[in-house]
Amino acid sequence: MTKSPLNCPICGAGTDFVGQIFGRIPPNQAYFLRHCPKCHFSYISNPRDDYATIYSEEYYRGLGADPLVNYEFDHQMPDLTLRQYEWAGLSRIFKSLFKASYQKATWLDYGCGLGSLVAYGRKRGLLVSGYEPYGDPLKDSLSENKALTETNILSTQDLAGREFDFVTAIEVIEHAADPLAFLAQIRPLIKPGGFLFLTTGNAKPFRSNLIKWSYVSCPDVHVSFFEPETLALALSKNNFRPFNAGFLPGFAQVIKYKILKNLKFKKRSLFFDLCPFSAISFLTNLKYQVTAMPIGIAE
């Protein structure tokens, strides 16, 4: 089949035009949102490829295409940032998947940005390293402030021939214009039987009104949108067995982070620490089906 932006990048079927969305860089840049009626993948059919422009220093400071991220603050103030809830949740998910052997299990955070999750895990004795595929523009833009980048970040060369027990890609796949190629890059990094744990929003509850969904509101950088079955198909095309692990311990904290982030909170607080979020996270999950997205088990 000929590759065309009008054919689904996941299953190859013809797709429908959903609508036009406007980005921020430059202001009012127009993007076209399409949807595949067969596998329910949705995507921006005219994505940017000038990564050094969109993943600029401003982007990492929360002043770029996605105003809800501020990686610099997360890295400089790890005990203060709201993201601490997400990191704690992910560490708990990691421990629950590996049970007693978690201290020996190796973890790679793929798309680690400045490496804040890596630093969080290392401080707690976890064997976590990071890799940032857009590392070069990142290093260039932040080279004057080297202290910002975590030391356990691997280069592309370091990764050659390495395999990990667990790979996370936290809110990364929605940035990939070719998600099958993205998964194909990751698969050799995981030992057979190891896990790919990726987070991205679940488009299914928003299928009838996709254009209003918060994930599609920053089309300069968010270009690929999945439903659970779409992600399962993409995983199975790359030698992963899709597996629904359900509401693993740790998900309550990951969802707590997502709720507070979307309410525009930036910092954690004693009130949020003590708030009984388990029930709120559980109810939120019923609506948004965060945990319906499958994990990939490397075959």
**Residues at the site binding Zn ion, with contacts judged by CB under 5 A:** 8, 10-11, 13, 36, 38-39, 41
Contacts of residue 112, defined as CB under 8 A and 6 or more positions apart, other chains included, come to 118, 130, 131, 132, 150, 153
Q: Which is nearer to Zn ion, 16 or 299 (CB)?
A: 16
Q: How far is the CB of 117 from Zn ion (least distance, A)?
A: 31
Provide CB contacts within 8 A for 238, sequence distance 6+.
180, 183, 184, 186, 187, 296
Minimum CB separation from Zn ion for residue 287, in Å?
25
- Closest distance to Zn ion from the beta carbon of 43 (Å): 9
- Taking the least distance from each CB to Zn ion, the nearer of 39 and 88 is 39
Q: Smaller CB distance to Zn ion: residue 39 or 142? A: 39
Report, in Å, the least distance between residue 12 CB and Zn ion.
7
Least Å distance, CB 216 to Zn ion, is: 17
Q: Residue 8 or residue 126: which is nearer to Zn ion going by CB? A: 8
Q: Least separation, in Å, of the C-beta of 38 and Zn ion?
A: 5
Q: Of 7 and 46, which has the nearer Cβ to Zn ion? A: 7
Query: Closer CB to Zn ion, residue 41 or residue 277?
Result: 41
> What is the rounded distance in angstroms from the CA atom of residue 127 to the CA atom of residue 107?
6
